Amino acid sequence: MTFTKLLKGLIPVSLLATLPSTAFAAANLASDDFVGISFWLISMALMAATVFFLWETQSVDGKWKTSLVVSGLVTFIAAVHYFYMRDVWVATGESPTVYRYIDWLLTVPLLMIEFFLILRAIGSASGGIFWRLLIGTLVMLVPGYLGEAGYINITVGFVIGMLGWFYILYEIFAGEAAQMAANEAPPAVASAYNTMRWVVTVGWAIYPLGYVFGYYVYVDDAGNTTAAASQALNIVYNLADVVNKIAFGLLIWYAATSESKKAVPATA
């Protein structure tokens, strides 16, 4: 193993060493606390996925490396948040929404930019694709947060957020990104792109549905989400993140490794 290879392997390991300590959760997780257990399971899965994606950058062509690094950043950022959320949950029996939003504010734009990155790896994707996807995510998330945090009306925040999401869906199903994928993507990339946009449609629908259930359906007389609903919502969000962050990253990994394998060997 060469020195640079060793160095590359050390990067993910040293990143993980910076994870917050979690002594409180470790000492207090009850064996029937399924929300806590799901936080625990998913945090481990996210951490393992991070090592995997970063490690695999070594076996793909240069132009695919950025996509895999971004997948690894998404699971890394989420893993750290899950460590915090797990500890807060075990300590208080609550999971403040603000942690989800801080995570989303970083990971969702990165996930959207993956569409731009894989298109850039196969051709010359325009900067417009990048900006439209980025702005769409912010229009989706920021009003959602303002609504949940009480700065604006809950319904207004929800409606504007939905428009942001629809704007993203338009771009990846019918806009410039979709046209480029249809015209230029080789089969493995086209199939990954197609599955990725269905993840953004079906997998992502879980979060606005959670908003509807948590604020309109399962509310007590004071207008707060009931405890049972908030437990169920946390488990559902946690499982959703497995699909939307880990499986999404695996789709990119599939496109990247398939394309790298078929590359013509260098003459040397």
Ligand X SMILES: *C/C=C(C)/C=C/C=C(C)/C=C/C1=C(C)CCCC1(C)C
User: What whole-number distance in Å separates Cα of residue 18 and Cα of residue 11?
Assistant: 11
Q: What is the largest CA-CA distance in the chain?
A: 74
CB 206 within 8 Å of CB 238:
no
Check residue 108 for interaction with ligand X (CB under 6 A). yes
- In the complex, the smallest distance separating the C-beta of residue 211 from ligand X, rounded to whole angstroms, is 5
Beta bridge partners of 225: 219
Binding to ligand X in span 162-181, by CB under 6 A: 162, 165
Q: How many residues bind ligand X (CB under 6 A)?
A: 18
Check residue 107 for interaction with ligand X (CB under 6 A). yes
Measured at the CA of 13, the angle between CA 256 and CA 55, to 5 degrees, comes to 15
Check residue 12 for interaction with ligand X (CB under 6 A). no
- In the complex, the smallest distance separating the C-beta of residue 168 from ligand X, rounded to whole angstroms, is 9
Q: Which is nearer to ligand X, 65 or 100 (CB)?
A: 100
CB 224 within 8 Å of CB 154:
no
- In the complex, the smallest distance separating the C-beta of residue 229 from ligand X, rounded to whole angstroms, is 15
Select from 36, 244, 246, 255 the one that contacts ligand X (CB under 6 A): 244
User: What whole-number distance in Å separates Cα of residue 133 and Cα of residue 108?
Assistant: 10
Q: Which stretches of 123-226 are DSSP H helices?
A: 127-148, 154-173, 176-184, 187-198, 204-212
DSSP state of 32: T
Q: Which is nearer to ligand X, 193 or 259 (CB)?
A: 193
Binding to ligand X in span 61-100, by CB under 6 A: none
Q: Which is nearer to ligand X, 24 or 151 (CB)?
A: 151
What is the contact surface with ligand X in residues (CB under 6 A)? 104, 107-108, 111, 140-141, 144, 158, 161-162, 165, 204, 207-208, 211, 241, 244-245
